[in-house]
Each structure stands twice: as structure tokens, then as C-alpha cells.
Structure 1
């Protein structure tokens, strides 16, 4: 679990210099080989739509409007797009890598730019279509690929503003727009390329990060449920094996009494007796674990007992963990269902506090007739002011990428607790403090539903 604290500790194990550059290049190559989220069939279909649209436009301008323009070069450009799409259809695998998708979109951009160059350059209203490949790249490709395609589109727009054939018009020489107006079109297209690429890529990346973080949260919850299920299975096994094991113990005891010590069978009977006693001790240990009393891992417990279970073995031995009940509590202690969301979420917060505490972590419980509060406080350096307002967002940590930290701990804990109706507040108060609040009726409804 990750929490954003100020830290002056320097990690000398991190690679520096040339080794860091080599690792970055390797990661970039791995990312380029990774398949994108858009399937090959979808991309092929979009390109066929582009072929049909270009061919239809050329035919309408040539036959319906009878505008003079470079018909043959336009048809050749459209044919090139169709042929490339046929080649793409015959390729494998069915999902493109980052690199191949970038090359395909780069080809589409150049093909579209050549078609626009044959029909008036930036004076052509269809010049706005230069935004299409860049937008697709910003949606599905990496930042590096999107930046490259954006630069290619800006370069193409710059060339088209100076090098192009006349715009198809009623007159053979076409129409010539003023230079200032053409400069305005270039500026608008360039700014649109940069803005749309940045905005779409940022929004898509945020969505991808959130989806990945939610997946991590679901995996953590699934692991917690599996552990609870194992506890129930152990309790059931202890219950079912209790009766036959008791019979074996009684029979072995009787055999010990009847077989004389000098008999060759005495050692075997003694071994049988010792092993039955050992099995009994094992079953007693299984029966004493959480969930054994009722066979239900989601049994209802007093709040203080459940907090102690959640905090068990979550702080280092050098850190003192103190669970306190506020003296000003109003009403009876809440009875809370033992859910994986509660145990894993609260346990993550307590574990995180223990990692940054200097000597002590204090968990304070407070409840009224309407609300239930849990405060987790450590005496460490506190939350970093730079990220305090954004705590709870995925992949946010001052330790992200170090020793396996992904910056998902706070996000997972917050998400799990929110699923059971909690609200979380982070603040600095002579150290880091996390306040968790539930409407009491929410916890009571959950308990009644079990």
C-alpha cells in the first residue's frame, strides 16, 4: 500500500546513468510490441469507410459539379489506401502492436495529405480530416506515438499551405484565398491538432489508468474473499473430521491399555495414539480461527474487535499499535459485519501508517447514534502537501516504481471502503491522519442483511 509522505531517504539501489537509459529503451520497445485495444477488423472497417468516402467525394466533384481538378492523382491516392487495406486484412495477428498501428495511421495521414494537396491544400474544407488519424492515435496509442503523429500532421499541414494544386472550382484556375486567411486556416488546424491530441490522450490515459486501478482493487477484494472462504472451509473440515477422529482416539487409547508394553505391536499403537492427538490439536487450531464459530466468514462482530482483526500483523514489530475507544461515544458499540472490504481496506490504511510511523500508530474509534468514525494516526512526517488534495487517485505515490510500489494502495483501500458506504478524509495533524466515517444505519443495514 502506498501513501504520499515526505521522505528524505535516498534509494541507492535505483539504476542511474547509462543503465537507466537502457532500461527506458527496453521498456519503450516492450510497449511498442504490446497489442492495442483496437482490433484489426475494426481498423480495417474504418479504413474502408474512408476509401468509400474519398471515392464518393471525388466522383461527386468530378461528375456532379464538373469541377476541373487532378482526377487521376486523386484516384491513385484512393487506390493506394484500398490496396494497403487489403494487405492489412491479410496480416496477422488480429490485433496490431503499438508500432504497427502507428505506421498504419502514419500512412493514412500521408495519404490523406496527398489527396488534400491535389485538391487545393488547406483551402480545401476537407483539410480538417487531418485531425482524424491523430485523434485515433490519442485514443488508443501511447504518448510517444501520438506525439510523432501530431508532429507529422503539423508538418503536413505546413507543407500543404505552400505546396498544393488549385482548389476545384467553377473556373479552370480555381479560387485563390488571401494569404492571411490561409495563415489563419493553418493556425486553426495546427492548434486543433495539438489541443485535440493532448486532450483526447489525457482523457483516454486517465480512463485506462482508472480501469487498471479498479481491476487491481477487484483482484485485492477477490483475494480477501478467497482467504475468508478458506477459513470457512477449514472450519467445516474441522467439524466434519471431529467425530471420526474422536473415535480413532478412543480406540487407540483402549489399544494402549490392552497391548502389553513388551508386545511388538505396542510401538505401532503408541504411534497411532500420538498421531491422533496431533490431528486433534490441528483441528482445534483450525476451529479457533475466525469464522469457525458459525462457519460464516461474514459474521457480525463489535467494531473494536473487528478493527483489531483488521490491524493484526499490519504494523512492524518496532511500531506500537494502540486501538482506543473515545470516551465520549454515544450509544452502544456498533455491531459490524466482517466483510473483506472492511478488513482489507482498513488493514491497508493501518499497514501504510505503520510503514511511515516513527514509533506509534493510534487507531481511535468513535460513534454516535448516527455516525461511526475511525481515525488512523501515525507520528511520521505526514502527507506531502503537493499531493494531499489528490490522495485516493490511482497510481499516485512518492514511492511509485520503487520496490514494487505501484501507487495503488490508498486507491484500493478507499475504493473498498466506499463500497460499504464509507467516506475518507486525509489530513496532517502532528503526523498523517486518515478519518473514515460511515452512517451508522448503513452498517446496521449490512448487518441485518447477513
Structure 2
């Protein structure tokens, strides 16, 4: 899915995020606050305001809430148009109430920011902009035209002109700032949530593939001897029954079915014994397994394994966890996609850490996004800095996000940079030698992953349901 397509999809889904019950509940709180404020102003402070007309405006909101309860189920999710109209009603109702109670001299004018903030979280951008402009227009009107508030002695309560102007400016800034802030935070939360769902699906898929490989290997190991015996006995029977065609065909059928069982074991798996030997492997084996789907894509993938010298540590054994294999596979895929001819995979280890470096000979990470690598759905790029550096498809950074999330879950730390292995720094300061990703695990974390891994064949374990 391209970045523009994802943004359109997200905008379409945004409109049905809010339930009618949520807006109705918020309006009940607003009604209670409005009624209380007018009651206190008239009863305890003896302020002269149009209390009767204000009560009518509040009563209209009460009627709207009751009608929504009768006309719609309480769990109804509002469409884009319905939510938009409800928020327009709230802005107009509040503006009319402020017109009757002093305009911007009423400190409760700041509540106009609430409907715009709600719109920023649940509506599309064009609807949010319209509601923001509506709120700004209504506040601008009532700042000039409104019914005054007076004391019992008839003294009109008006703020100084400078203070009224400052309050108006503060409201305008508040409407814009809160709308932008709420929209940005909400969008990032939902984007991250969707990316994490994609990560979970990728991990589940890799786990199923790993389980399938273990089941097939264990089943082939367990059934290999009896199938070989059946084939041997059937061959002997065929020799002895060569002069009896009917029985000869039955013996031949037995041997062919034994061969068929062997072929089935190589192509599918079912619930069976768990081969715990497959739970761990040498580091190089795990890395090569991760890279295997991308070795024949027209680019050379070179493996450089640290040599074992006298007295040095032997190559470590690491757990064959799905998140490690899938994470490394995504990183290698990204390197192959962006490389010119070669991808280098360096495998090193020490007493304290295990490091895998994946480097390509492409143009490197674009300077405008290198600080955001690992974030999902990276869409904005500065073409003046980056140029045409992407392969022939439109990506959003989700693959790198999944890889980073899975590998960090396994205890790894990832570092993204640009290399000068094949080039030099350009005048902008960006290296031209290709992208480099370092994946480092502390040895103790990998050792913990192996502590619960025994060897041998485990008990029968049912697999999860296959899609």
C-alpha cells in the first residue's frame, strides 16, 4: 500500500471512531455546567443577564440529547456527516449562549475550543478546518456584537479593549494549536497501533513457518524407519509374487503409497512432535536462513564471518526465534532492494556481544529521513536533498519498523548510519557509500534465550489453527 493510499484509508476510517453516546455524554456535562453558571451568576452575584433566553438555548441542547436517545441506539457510531453536524450544533449553541451572556467578557468563551479539539481527533482534515474557521468566525462576531452583563446597580461589566483583544487572540491561537496538537497525537497513536498489529501478524506468520518446519522435520525423523521397512518388505513381496499379477499389483500399490507418504512429509506438516534441535543453531546458520529468500534476486549477498583463532571464542549458538529470523530477513531485503550490486553481511562476536552488520553499496539512507528510520509510515521526504533514490515501488517504512520492533523485542540494539566503504561524503555531509545497519545483542540475553532450550524430541503439541 502506497503512502498516499494509506493516508486516504486512514482518513476514511477516522470518521467512524466516535460513538454517539460519547458526544451525548459530553453535551450533558456542558449542559450541567452552563445551567450551573447561569444559576450562580443570577442567584448569588445578582448579575443582570438574559437568563430566560439563555435557558431556552440550554433547553434546545437538552431536547437534542433526548431526541438522539430516542432516534438512535446508544452504541451507534456516527458517520463523518453526522459527527460534523453535531459539532456544528455545539459550536452554534455555545456561541449563541455567549452572545446572550456578555460575549468575550464571559470567561467561559474558552469552551469553544472543545468541539474543535474533538473534531481534530475524529473527523477528516477538511471538516476539522471548517469547524475551526466556524469557531473563529463566531468568536470574532460575538467579540463585537453581544448583550452586556450588568451588576445589580446597572454597571456594565466590560473588559478593557486591550484585554478583550488579547482574549480574542488567545482563543484563536488556542483553537488552532489544540486542533493541530490533538490531530497529530491521535494520528500517531493510530498509526503506531496499526503498525504494531502488522508486526504481530508478521511475527505470527514467522512463528507458524518455524513451527511447520519443526513439525515436518520431526515427523520425517519419526516415520522414516517404518516407511523404509514398509518399502523394503513390499519390494520383497513384489519379487515373490511376480507370477501372481493380482497380488503383485497390491504389493506395488503398498510401495507407491509409502513413497507418497514420504513426499507428503516433505511438503506439509501437521500436529506432531516438536524437534527441539531446531530451537537453536550456530549464528551463521541463523543469518543465512534469514537471508535465503533474497540470495537469488540478482544482487550478490556476501557473508563475512569472523575467523576463530587459537584461544578465541568459538562461533556462538543462538536461539532460532521467529522475531530474530524475520527481523534480519526484513533488513537484508531492504539492503538488497536499495543496493547496486552487493550486500555485505558481517558476523562478529566477542565476550560481551554478538554483532551483525548489514551494509549495501547503494546511495545510503536519505538525509531527510535518517533520523526517523524505524518509524512506521514515513511519507515526507525532501526531494531537494534526497533526489530520486528509491527503487521502483512506493514504501512507507513499515518493513524497517517491523524489523526494528521484532529485533528489539529479542534484546537487540539497532544503529542506522551511512557508510563510506564504497564512496565518500558528499558536499551535504551525506555519505555516498550505502546504508549500514548494526544489530547488536548482549551475550547474556542470547544465553537466556538458550537456557530453556533443551535438545531432543519434545511431546506432541497441537499447532495453532492455520488460516
Taking structure 2 as the reference length, what is the TM-score of the superposition? 0.83
How far apart in 2 are the matches of 1:387 and 1:161?
A: 45
Can you list the C-alpha shifts for 1:343-392, whole angstroms capped at 9, x where unaligned?
00000000111111111111001111111111101111211111111111
* Corresponding pairs, count: 426
Can you list the C-alpha shifts for 1:308-362, whole angstroms capped at 9, x where unaligned?
1111112443111111113488522121100011000000000111111111111
Maintained 8 Å contact 1:331/1:369: yes
Can you list the C-alpha shifts for 1:410-437, whole angstroms capped at 9, x where unaligned?
1110111111111111111111111111
Maintained 8 Å contact 2:338/2:391: no
Maintained 8 Å contact 2:219/2:273: no
| 1:344 corresponds to | 326
Can you list the C-alpha shifts for 1:280-302, whole angstroms capped at 9, x where unaligned?
34436779xxxx99613861211
| 2:429 corresponds to | none
When residues 100 and 403 of structure 1 are mapped into structure 2, their CA distance, relative to the original with a 3 A threshold, is farther
Matches within 5 A, 1:63-212: 63-89=43-69, 90-92=71-73, 94-172=76-154, 174-212=156-194
Maintained 8 Å contact 2:212/2:268: no
Q: What is the Cα deviation at residue 229 of structure 1?
A: 2.0
Maintained 8 Å contact 2:15/2:124: no
| 2:401 corresponds to | 411
| 1:361 corresponds to | 343
Maintained 8 Å contact 2:354/2:442: yes
Q: What is the Cα deviation at residue 274 of structure 1?
A: 2.5
How far apart in 2 are the matches of 1:323 and 1:124?
A: 72
| 1:52 corresponds to | 32
CA-based RMSD of the aligned residues comes to 3.1
Matches within 5 A, 1:13-32: 27=8, 31-32=11-12
1:263 to 232, 245, 248: 245
When residues 241 and 83 of structure 1 are mapped into structure 2, their CA distance, relative to the original with a 3 A threshold, is farther
When residues 169 and 225 of structure 1 are mapped into structure 2, their CA distance, relative to the original with a 3 A threshold, is farther
| 2:463 corresponds to | none
Q: Does 1:426 align with 2:426?
A: no
How far apart in 2 are the matches of 1:27 and 1:281?
A: 47
Maintained 8 Å contact 1:316/1:355: no
2:254 to 255, 272, 275: 272
Secondary structure at 1:365's aligned position in 2? strand
Maintained 8 Å contact 2:47/2:149: no
How far apart in 2 are the matches of 1:298 and 1:103?
A: 60
Secondary structure at 2:18's aligned position in 1? strand
Q: Does 1:435 align with 2:438?
A: yes
Secondary structure at 1:36's aligned position in 2? coil
Unaligned stretches of 5+ residues in structure 1? 3-13, 15-19
| 1:9 corresponds to | none
Q: Which moved more, 1:119-128 or 1:145-154?
A: 145-154
Maintained 8 Å contact 1:363/1:377: yes
How far apart in 1 are the matches of 2:267 and 2:118?
A: 59
1:332 to 314, 321, 327: 314
How far apart in 2 are the matches of 1:401 and 1:109?
A: 48
How far apart in 2 are the matches of 1:38 and 1:405?
A: 30
Q: Does 1:317 align with 2:297?
A: yes
Matches within 5 A, 1:175-254: 175-239=157-221, 241-242=223-224, 245-246=227-228, 248-254=230-236
Unaligned stretches of 5+ residues in structure 2? 382-388, 420-432, 454-467
| 2:459 corresponds to | none
How far apart in 2 are the matches of 1:353 and 1:316?
A: 14
When residues 328 and 110 of structure 1 are mapped into structure 2, their CA distance, relative to the original with a 3 A threshold, is farther
When residues 366 and 222 of structure 1 are mapped into structure 2, their CA distance, relative to the original with a 3 A threshold, is same
Q: What is the Cα deviation at residue 241 of structure 1?
A: 4.2
Maintained 8 Å contact 2:15/2:122: no
Q: What is the Cα deviation at residue 164 of structure 1?
A: 0.7
Maintained 8 Å contact 1:315/1:351: no
When residues 407 and 169 of structure 1 are mapped into structure 2, their CA distance, relative to the original with a 3 A threshold, is farther
Maintained 8 Å contact 2:300/2:341: yes
How far apart in 2 are the matches of 1:197 and 1:159?
A: 21
When residues 155 and 321 of structure 1 are mapped into structure 2, their CA distance, relative to the original with a 3 A threshold, is same
* Larger RCO (CA within 8 A; separation ≥ 6): 1
Q: What is the Cα deviation at residue 172 of structure 1?
A: 3.4
When residues 198 and 34 of structure 1 are mapped into structure 2, their CA distance, relative to the original with a 3 A threshold, is closer
